[in-house]
Structure 1
Amino acid sequence: MSCWETIADYAFRSLGYGERLLPRSDFTLCQQFTLIGSGMIWNIYFGFFALTSGFLLATGVAVGKAARNPLIRKPAEWFIFLFRGSPLFIQFFFAYFLFLNLKGVSDFFDPFTSAWAGALLVLFLNTAAYSGEIFFGALKSIPKGDIEAADAYGLSGWARFRRVIWPTMLRLAWPAYTNEAIFLFHATTLVFFSGFPAAQQRGDALYYANYFADKTFDPFIPYPILAAYFILLTLVIIGIFGLINRRLNRHLPQQTRQKMKLRPQIIR
């Protein structure tokens, strides 16, 4: 089988298309690159949808934590504390068994016992808590002069938040938020270790890397391939977020613009 035939058979296997059976022997580099790359589709799926939806919730959580009303502030504080204070793997574990028990109560919770919905929900809440704390810090760092200028122009309420406070908050928080986005995509590999099953062997990238490592007894080929895919993904994220950062800071002089810095997190 040529490499092009392997790609045609396995490129979308993680989505249920192509060859149904995994290779059993005589593994080639092309097979490992193709199948691990196929599994990356799920990692990108988890990271993209958790990040985009978590961004909206994080904004609301940050505003809620900055509110003076304790009925709004306290739930936001406890939400951030709960998801930042517990390990992500434990959150996966408890969420799976919670949805498993709720499944017996109502069929509505049936999809949440699968990784595509249940694991995504956990990642969504987790990144919303971390991002909410980042945005809250940025909110508290907004110069008073910006708010006073908005008042001088007659802006108040929603108009002031949308046109002054929110853009300034994003500009201040964006470098730290970029690192959160990178770590979120890396954290999607924990789905493999969680209780959420991979239906019909349609797992993520780590699932296939682990499969080849178990079959060949040589982890020094599939795992570096997996790392290379995530390094490429990280470079793409840095590039996209860098463009957004330039857009957010386009009105500032070049020498005062906040530059992007990658600060890897060792542990969540």
Structure 2
Amino acid sequence: MSCWQTIQDYGLRSLGYGERLLPRTDFTLCEHFVLIGSGMIWNIYFGVVALGLGFFFATALALGKMSANRLIRKPAEWFIFLFRGSPLFIQFFFAYFLFLSLKGSYAFFDPFTAAWLGALIVLFLNTSAYSAEIFYGALRSIPKGDVEAADAYGMSGWPRFRRIVWPTMLRLAWPAYTNEAIFLFHATALVFFSSFPAWQQRGDALYYANYFADKTFNPFVPYPILAMYFIIFTLVIVAIFGAINRRLNSHLPQNEKAKLRIRPNLIR
């Protein structure tokens, strides 16, 4: 089988298109790259959707934690503490069994026991908590002079937040938020180890890498390929977030622009 034929057969297999059965013997290097790359589609899905939705929820949580109203501040503080204080793998474990127990009583929760939705919800809540703490620190670091200047121009409420507070918060938080985005993308590999099942062998990248390692008894081919894919997409994240960072700081002098410092977390 040619490599092009392998791409046609397995390029979108993780989405349910192409060959239904996985190769059994005589694994080629092309099959390693194509199947593991196919699984990366799910990792990208988990990372992009969780980060995109979590960005807005994290902003709301940060504002809630800054609120003077105790009824708003305390729930935000406890939510952030809960998801930052417990390991992500344990959150996967408890979420799966919660959804499984609810599924027995309500048919509505049936999709929640699948990785595409259940694991996504856990990643969304986890990154929202970490991002909220980053945004909260940025909100507290906003120079008082900026807010006072807005008040002097007669700006208050939503106009002041939209034009002064929110852009300044993003500019201050963006380097740290970039690191959170990178870690979240790496954390998508934990979905394989969670209790959420891969339906009809349509797993993520680590699922296929582990399949090849089990069949060939040689982990030194599939896992470096998996690492290479993650490194490539990490570079893509750095490039995209770096461009956004330059846009956020385009009005500042060159020596005052905040530069990205990539510091990946070794443990959550």
TM-score (norm 1): 1.00
What CA deviation, in whole Å up to 9, does each residue of 1:131-167 have, x standing for no partner? 0000000000000010011111110001100110000
1:47 CA drift (Å): 0.4
What CA deviation, in whole Å up to 9, does each residue of 1:18-41 have, x standing for no partner? 011100011010000000000000
Task: For 1:24 and 1:111, locate their aligned partners in 2 and report how far apart those are by CA, in whole Å.
Answer: 30
What's the counterpart of residue 138 of structure 1?
138
What's the counterpart of residue 70 of structure 2?
70
Task: For 2:264 and 2:40, locate their aligned partners in 1 and report how far apart those are by CA, in whole Å.
Answer: 20
1:17 CA drift (Å): 0.1
Which runs of 5 or more structure 1 residues have no equivalent in the other structure?
Answer: none
What CA deviation, in whole Å up to 9, does each residue of 1:168-202 have, x standing for no partner? 00000000000000000000000000000000000
What's the counterpart of residue 147 of structure 1?
147
Task: For 1:213 and 1:82, locate their aligned partners in 2 and report how far apart those are by CA, in whole Å.
Answer: 36
What's the counterpart of residue 89 of structure 2?
89
RMSD of aligned C-alpha atoms? 0.4
What's the counterpart of residue 231 of structure 1?
231
Counterpart secondary structure, 2:154: coil
Matched AA of 2:253? P
Identity %: 78
What's the counterpart of residue 41 of structure 1?
41
What's the counterpart of residue 193 of structure 1?
193
What's the counterpart of residue 258 of structure 2?
258
Task: For 1:164 and 1:105, locate their aligned partners in 2 and report how far apart those are by CA, in whole Å.
Answer: 48
Task: For 2:75 and 2:4, locate their aligned partners in 1 and report how far apart those are by CA, in whole Å.
Answer: 54
What CA deviation, in whole Å up to 9, does each residue of 1:49-78 have, x standing for no partner? 000000000000000001111101000000
Matched AA of 2:162? R
Counterpart secondary structure, 1:182: helix
What's the counterpart of residue 21 of structure 2?
21
| Pair 1:170 & 2:170 matched | yes
1:93 CA drift (Å): 0.2
Which runs of 5 or more structure 2 residues have no equivalent in the other structure?
Answer: none
What CA deviation, in whole Å up to 9, does each residue of 1:96-149 have, x standing for no partner? 000000001111111000000000000000000000000000000000010011
Task: For 2:109 and 2:56, locate their aligned partners in 1 and report how far apart those are by CA, in whole Å.
Answer: 23
User: 4+ runs of 1 displaced by more than 6 Å?
Assistant: none
Task: For 1:140 and 1:93, locate their aligned partners in 2 and report how far apart those are by CA, in whole Å.
Answer: 34
Matched AA of 2:215? K
Matched pairs, number: 268
Task: For 1:237 and 1:119, locate their aligned partners in 2 and report how far apart those are by CA, in whole Å.
Answer: 21
What's the counterpart of residue 56 of structure 1?
56
Task: For 1:257 and 1:51, locate their aligned partners in 2 and report how far apart those are by CA, in whole Å.
Answer: 24
What's the counterpart of residue 180 of structure 2?
180
Matched AA of 1:121? I
What's the counterpart of residue 9 of structure 2?
9
1:244 CA drift (Å): 0.5
TM-score (norm 2): 1.00
Task: For 1:103 and 1:212, locate their aligned partners in 2 and report how far apart those are by CA, in whole Å.
Answer: 33
Matched AA of 2:109? F
| Pair 1:113 & 2:113 matched | yes
Matched AA of 1:67? S
1:264 CA drift (Å): 1.1
